[in-house]
Chain A
Amino acid sequence: MKLRRLLASAIFILTFLYIFPLFMSEPIFLHTFFTLFIFAAIAQAFNLIAGYAGYLSLGHTVYYGLGMYVAAIVLKSMVQMDVYSSLMLAYLAGGIAAAIFGLVTSVPLFRLRGATFALGTLGIAEFMRVLFQQYWMGMGGSSGLFLHVSSPNKVIFYSIALTLMLISVLTAFFIRKSRFGLALLSIREDEDAAEVLGIKTLNEKLKAVAISAFITGVCGSVMASYTLYVAPEIAFSLLISLQMQFMPIIGGLGTIFGPIIGAMILVVTDEIFTTITKGAIYYGLGTLLYASTMLLIMRFLPEGLWGAYSSRRRRAFLRASKKFKLDARHDRACP
């Protein structure tokens, strides 16, 4: 019953979102929604490894940046192909490159846990940033790489990003409901106990990293084909990496709706504050308000908006079940 209601509302919202550009094709709306969808997809992918498996990676931007660069190279070398097939190829290549990179670097890094794992991933991202600042293989160095290729209009990108977000949400949903997801959750709760129970923890973690890196890499390549400019500073920066983590954390880590809500809050507040403070004149005022808002949210709702909401609901359910002598153990975690 509950699932059916969820499904109906999801289909309604999706249909609305897909036909949205038909009656609202202002570039600013399309751009904001495009950013929102891409960020939501990234947040969802990041949530797989940080929220479910409990491994915070401070260098998740490395997959995003790698996707960007690989897509840029593919797009540059495939100019003679038609637009859509070269785009598809670029996205696939970006995703696969990121996934392979994630697997290769994660095998040694997964020997670390907690803070040291976070710092190790940060180191890898920083190393990649420095590496791509050098002038090699026609990468453009630190001044970046401009892509002079034809690209579709904003409406097409809007639907690409929406589809990407849909795919990543569905992936997260099915993983959450599967045995694999349960294995990841058990790794988050207690890795040694999970290992004892017979879960091949390294394998499960590597699977999660591969999926997460693939989605993030595809997001990066979509972004590269949208902005038609890649640079080490926008691809591998610590700032981007930290901002990626905001969304699932603000929304609620380890939940399915959390990252989407987080991305929504993040992108919309950023746009609003940049607009009302006239970003170009008082540069920095927008960032100030935005960071203060995030700080207040984190200060008073440390488990995120959706996390706080769902845990309150769960607590209410537990109280009610105590009242009616129901067995609280059958309580399912909210999605």
Chain B
Amino acid sequence: MSQLELDLIVQAIVCGLLLSGVYLLIALSKSLVYSVIHMINVAIGWFMMLGGYIAYFLYQWGVDPLISTPLLIIPSFFWIGLIFYICIIKPSIGKAFLPQIVMTFNVALIIEALATLFWTADYRVVSPPYTRKSLDLFGIKLPILYIIIFIVGITTIISLHLFLTRTYMGCAIRCVAQNREGARIVGIKVEKVEMIATSISTTLAGMSGALLAMLTALTPNIGAAWTVLAITITIIGGLGNIYGAIPASLILAVMHTTLPFIIPAALSHGIGVLLMIIILLIRPSGIFGLKARLM
């Protein structure tokens, strides 16, 4: 193996490690909603797509995604999450598993239709000037965008951890995730907790969408692919296990950046899915076999 190839592989691994920040956001979003309301939210990829489009829309008006994400996207997605909970999730809690999936999928279709109406089906890219620059560190190029993504991911998981362990609402979320009826008996307002958890999940989805919009091109039908990605990371980390998402997103991101050296790039996503099936079969509680829980 020549020096050049070795450099490339190291470069790919570093990029993968940095990319895991956004995968972490996606996985956290999915895990949180699954662990609290035990519902597979198919619409999550479409929420991400919506976040990306809002970032694109604001970027057209000259607002940088790094400014618009904390100021506009996070609050608006919090409210979108509240509405989503009240209209869709609350009526379908306790119902069969199938109607729940169909409900969330219909929401996904509505979001896709709205995006097609407003922004048409063309490919859209959010490309502020710094997305094309990179830092040079010991001969390894660190794209600034990837560094931003990594920082956002790390910040999010740390703040989520602090929120879940240090605040009343976080403890209530963990409590509902462990035992819904018990939480109700203790006096926790379960509906409110579920609403907050859904909102946080939607907010994370919107954030990750805004980041991914700078990374890849947006189309209204990209939601399905992102949903599958979210499911893959979540299962590899363990369904409903928030901390399992860290190794899972690292593994998957490094796989997605290094495997294209050996096999076609599209197939590397397939390998990820295959890994998901294998893990589902031999270790349904995630790659490290931690008990599925929030803490």
Query: Interface of A with B (CB < 8 Å)?
Result: 50, 56, 58, 108-109, 111-112, 114-116, 118-120, 122-124, 126-127, 130-131, 133-134, 142, 237-239, 242, 245-246, 249, 253, 282-288, 290-292, 294-295, 298-299, 302
Contact = CB atoms under 8 A, between A and B. Distances in A.
B270 A112 contact: no
Contact of B98 (A133, A142, A253, A286): A253
Given A123-B280, A130-B266, A242 B239 contact: no
B224 to A, nearest CB: 4
20 contacts: A56-B98, A111-B281, A119-B280, A120-B280, A123-B231, A123-B273, A126-B269, A126-B270, A130-B266, A130-B270, A133-B266, A242-B42, A287-B110, A287-B113, A288-B110, A295-B103, A298-B99, A298-B102, A298-B103, A299-B91
Given A112-B281, A238-B227, A134 B98 contact: no
Interface in B69-101: 88, 91-92, 95-99, 101
B98 A291 contact: no
Contacts of A123: 231-232, 273-274, 276-277, 280
A284 B231 contact: no
Contacts of B269: 126, 130
B57 to A, nearest CB: 16
Contacts of A133: 266
Given A111-B281, A238-B224, A238-B227, A284 B273 contact: no
A290 B273 contact: no
Contacts of B114: 284, 288
A221 B24 CA distance: 40
Contacts of A50: 98
A133 B102 CA distance: 27
A243 to B, nearest CB: 9
A246 B273 CA distance: 24
B266 A283 contact: no
A245 B40 CA distance: 15
B98 A246 contact: no
B99 A239 contact: no
Given A56-B97, A127-B270, A127-B273, A283 B121 contact: yes
B98 A294 contact: no
Contacts of B38: 115
Q: How large is the interface on B (under 10, 10 to 19, 20 to 34, 35 or more residues)?
A: 35 or more
Interface of B: 38, 40, 42, 88, 91-92, 95-99, 101-103, 105-107, 109-110, 112-117, 120-121, 220-221, 224, 227-228, 231-232, 235, 239, 264, 266-267, 269-270, 273-274, 276-277, 280-281, 284
Given A237-B224, A283-B116, A291 B99 contact: no
Contact of A245 (B101, B110, B227, B276): B101
A56 B97 CA distance: 9
B89 to A, nearest CB: 12
B106 A298 contact: yes
Nearest to A120: B280
A115 B276 CA distance: 14
Contacts of A284: 112-117, 220
Contact of B116 (A116, A245, A287, A298): A287
A261 to B, nearest CB: 15
B284 A116 contact: yes
Contact of B231 (A111, A119, A245): A119
What DSSP secondary structure best describes chain B's contact surface? Answer: helix
A328 B91 CA distance: 31
B231 A290 contact: no
Contacts of B120: 283
B280 A288 contact: no
A292 B110 contact: yes
Nearest to A299: B91
A134 B243 CA distance: 35
A120 B277 contact: yes
B228 A122 contact: yes
Given A283-B121, A291-B109, A291-B110, A58 B101 contact: yes
B119 to A, nearest CB: 10
Contact of A122 (B92, B97, B117, B231): B231
B95 A302 contact: yes
Of the listed residues A58, A253, A288, the one surrounded by the most CB atoms of chain B closer than 10 A to its CB is: A288
Nearest to A243: B105
A130 B224 contact: no
A134 B40 contact: no
Contacts of B284: 112, 116
Given A123-B276, A126-B228, A238-B227, A295 B107 contact: yes
B105 A242 contact: yes
Contact of A287 (B112, B231, B267, B270): B112
B117 A282 contact: yes
Nearest to B225: A238
B266 A245 contact: no
A247 to B, nearest CB: 11
A299 B117 CA distance: 25
Contacts of B102: 242, 245-246, 249, 294, 298
A283 B219 CA distance: 14
Contacts of A142: 266
Given A114-B97, A127-B270, A302-B92, 18 more contacts: A50-B98, A56-B98, A56-B101, A115-B38, A116-B284, A122-B228, A123-B273, A123-B280, A126-B269, A130-B266, A131-B270, A242-B102, A283-B116, A284-B117, A286-B113, A294-B106, A295-B106, A298-B102
Contact of A126 (B116, B220, B273): B273
A245 B269 CA distance: 25
